[in-house]
């Protein structure tokens, strides 16, 4: 039996426990620190944290929504949702910013 060390993708805590399975059969994990749920592997490209980070980086470099969706293999709706969440996060955390 191999024991795998897993960290929370949100808070980097190692206090992770199993939390059932998705309909696709993928194991769900729950963080005891922040209370957020995650998975080890994602079947949807738009749900991967690395893809979300690439969407933000590409938009900051001047790429358009269509270009980002074509290059990363996600839908245009996914790109828009990620960018809207970023806008809402920035406007609540930095109140004087004009977006």
Tens of pLDDT, residue by residue over 20-41, are 888 888 889 999 998 988 888 7
Tens of pLDDT, residue by residue over 78-90, are 999 999 988 877 7
Q: Is the separation of the CB atoms in 18 and 29 below 8 Å? A: yes
Question: For residue 11, what are its two tokens?
Answer: 């808070």
Predicted confidence (pLDDT) at residue 99 exceeds the cutoff of 80: no
Question: For residue 47, what are its two tokens?
Answer: 């749900």
Phi/psi for 51 (5° steps) reads: -65, -40
> Within a 10 A sphere around the Cβ of 55, how many other Cβ atoms?
25
Ordered by start, the domain boundaries in the chain are 1-42, 45-93
Question: For residue 69, what are its two tokens?
Answer: 């969706």
Tens of pLDDT, residue by residue over 58-79, are 998 999 999 999 999 999 999 9
Handedness of CA 73, 75, 81, 87 (dihedral sign): positive
Q: Is the separation of the CB atoms in 43 and 73 below 8 Å? A: no
Q: How far is CA 94 from the centre of its chain?
A: 21
């Amino acid at each position: 039996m191999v024991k795998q060390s897993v960290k929370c993708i949100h808070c980097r805590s190692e206090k992770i426990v199993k939390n059932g399975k998705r309909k696709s059969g993928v194991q769900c994990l729950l963080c005891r620190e922040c209370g957020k749920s995650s998975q080890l592997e994602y079947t949807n490209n738009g749900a991967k944290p690395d893809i979300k980070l690439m969407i933000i980086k590409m938009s900051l470099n001047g790429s358009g929504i269509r270009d980002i969706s074509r290059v990363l293999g996600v839908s245009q709706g996914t790109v828009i949702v990620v960018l809207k969440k970023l806008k809402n996060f920035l406007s609540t955390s930095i109140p004087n910013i004009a977006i």
